């Protein structure tokens, strides 16, 4: 290989790393903001018309990249089966949300190459397949939209998203999608960032989440 070609390849790799780092920095800045409205989030991401046969997800840190996805009837039936019987309680519905999110993430991952995503941001800080918390929040909101439009959410409504941590206060920036229990008005984080692709979301009270909740044993490689 000539020295010129070697230099060109090196420059291309360097540009890719810079773009990835820029996306990460933007993502960290966004993660640390206090949160926002559901409609505003979806409009900002241009995810306003999500339906099983056509929607978008983002990846590559900070929603740097987007991929169009469509599900077959058979693929969507896996989600529908979870909600085949009306949930008897809000607790049961939250458990179903966690499982349905996992199924959608796994299905979408096989179509977009994001099945390689690992829990955390820095655990696998390379490649376009990885999600940071901005990607996860956006995608989880899309999946929740699909569930809500299908009439599967009887005990909850889509609320928006929430953030915590500002670096300056000693806490690492992070954000999550949020649903609210209709009867009690209590908000819950629906957080997929901690787990590898296709694992159930963690659905915990937003109050507990804002106080710094993390799953037992979770470690991101730069934390």
Least confident of 12-26, 167-181, 182-196, 207-221: 12-26
| Nearest alpha carbon to residue 120 among 47, 22, 214 | 214
Number of domains in the chain: 1
Is the model's pLDDT at 142 over the cut of 60?
yes
| Nearest alpha carbon to residue 160 among 144, 147, 179 | 179
**94 within a domain of the structure (yes/no):** yes
**60 within a domain of the structure (yes/no):** yes
Domain range for 51: 3-210
**219 within a domain of the structure (yes/no):** no
User: How many Å apart are CA 9 and CA 84, to the nearest integer?
Assistant: 52
**175 within a domain of the structure (yes/no):** yes
Least confident of 39-43, 59-63, 217-221: 217-221
78 falls in which pLDDT band (50, 70, 90)? Answer: very high
**216 within a domain of the structure (yes/no):** no
**223 within a domain of the structure (yes/no):** no
Q: How confident is the model at residue 194, as a pLDDT? A: 93
Q: pTM value? A: 0.82
Q: How confident is the model at residue 188, as a pLDDT? A: 98
**220 within a domain of the structure (yes/no):** no
Per-position DSSP letters for 126-171, written without gaps between them: -STT---HHHHHHHHHHHHHHHHHTT--SSEEEEEEEEE--STTSS
User: How many Å apart are CA 100 and CA 145, to the nearest integer?
Assistant: 12
**200 within a domain of the structure (yes/no):** yes
Is the model's pLDDT at 127 over the cut of 80?
no
């Amino acid at each position: 290989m000539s020295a010129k070609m070697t230099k060109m390849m090196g420059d291309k790799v360097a540009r890719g790393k810079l773009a990835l780092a820029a996306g990460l920095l933007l993502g960290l800045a966004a993660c640390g903001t206090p949160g926002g409205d559901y409609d505003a989030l979806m409009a900002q991401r241009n995810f306003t018309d999500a339906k099983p046969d056509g929607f978008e997800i983002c990846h590559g840190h900070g929603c740097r990249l987007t991929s169009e996805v469509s599900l077959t009837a058979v693929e969507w039936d896996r989600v529908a089966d979870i909600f085949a019987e009306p949930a008897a309680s809000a607790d049961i519905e939250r458990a179903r949300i966690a499982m349905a999110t996992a199924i959608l993430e796994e299905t979408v991952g096989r179509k977009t190459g994001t099945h390689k995503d690992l829990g955390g941001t820095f655990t696998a800080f390379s490649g376009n397949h990885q999600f940071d918390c901005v990607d996860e929040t956006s995608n989880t909101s899309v999946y929740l939209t699909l569930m809500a439009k299908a009439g599967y959410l009887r005990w909850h409504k889509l609320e928006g998203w929430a953030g915590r941590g500002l670096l300056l206060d000693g806490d690492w920036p992070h954000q999550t999608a949020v649903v609210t229990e209709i009867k009690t008005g209590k908000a819950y984080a629906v957080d997929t960032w901690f787990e590898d692709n296709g694992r159930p979301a963690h659905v915990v009270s937003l109050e507990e989440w804002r106080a710094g909740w993390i799953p037992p044993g979770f470690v991101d490689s730069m934390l």
